[in-house]
Structure 1
Amino acid sequence: MAHVHKEFLVDSSPSHVWAAVRDFGEVHRRLAPGLVTHTRLEADVRVVTFANGVVVHELLVDIDDEARRVAYAVVGGSLTPKHHHASMQVFADSAESSRFVWITDVTPDDLASPIAEMVDQGARVIKQTLETAATQNN
């Protein structure tokens, strides 16, 4: 099983970052606008459409407000790995800065590279979106 780990700092408060991350159905607006063009919820499954046309169905596994962690698994769509489980977690770096940790486990192993590219692109967009929103709210 391949493992993709992405960690980055966001110049925004942990509470602001967590509010966006935990809003499971609003990825296209609050986390990755442009990269994600549409999101809709069907019970506990999030249907995500990416700008490149890929559509994935992500099962919500857990939202843990205390740990500031969301976990989800791909269960269908146009990208159907044998196994895909991911989590996003927000840690306080300071009162106005957050450490964002995104971990993905995927099989088959040959999907690690394209998943890592999507995670890298997603991290850049998420960081920019959260920091821009924080600046606009001040």
Structure 2
Amino acid sequence: MASIRREIHVAVAADRAWDALRDVGRIHERVVKGFVTDCRLEGDTRVVTFANGMTVRERIVDVDDAQRRVAWAVAEAPFEHYNASVQAFDEGGDRTRLVWIADLLPHALAERVASMIDEGMGAMKQTLESAGAAGGSA
């Protein structure tokens, strides 16, 4: 199984970053603008459309306010297994460390997924640090 872990620091207070992350149906507006072009909720599943045209159904596994962690899973092709999470850690003041972890099969998809996560982290930093998202309203 491939395991991918990425982290970045953003110049946003942890409470504000978490407010955006926990809004799981609006990630295309509040978290990863440009990387995700559309997102809609269908019960506990979000349908995510990426800028590259790929659409994925992500089942929301947990939104943990105490740990500031969102976890989701994908149970469809091309994945045999996929689970991921993003967690926000308070670094004090207006700094937050974000950690994105994904575990997946088949291993052959690891490079492609890692590249998408890297792109997503860049979009996350830009979106969260923008005035609208940092203020809790996008």
Q: CA RMSD in A?
A: 1.4
Normalised to the residue count of structure 1, the TM-score between the two structures is 0.93
Name the residue aligned to 1:131: 129
State the AA in 2 paired with 1:97. R
**1:136 positional shift:** 6.7
State the AA in 1 paired with 2:16. H
Name the residue aligned to 1:6: 6
CA contact 1:5–1:102 (8 Å) conserved in 2: yes
Aligned residues: 135
Name the residue aligned to 2:99: 101
Q: Unpaired segments of 5 or more residues in structure 1?
A: none
**1:134 positional shift:** 6.4
Name the residue aligned to 2:65: 65
Normalised to the residue count of structure 2, the TM-score between the two structures is 0.93
Change (3 A) 1:21 1:15: same
Name the residue aligned to 1:86: 84
CA contact 1:20–1:31 (8 Å) conserved in 2: yes
State the AA in 2 paired with 1:10. V
**1:133 positional shift:** 2.9
Q: Unpaired segments of 5 or more residues in structure 2?
A: none
Query: Greater strand share, 1 or 2?
Result: 1
Change (3 A) 1:34 1:135: closer
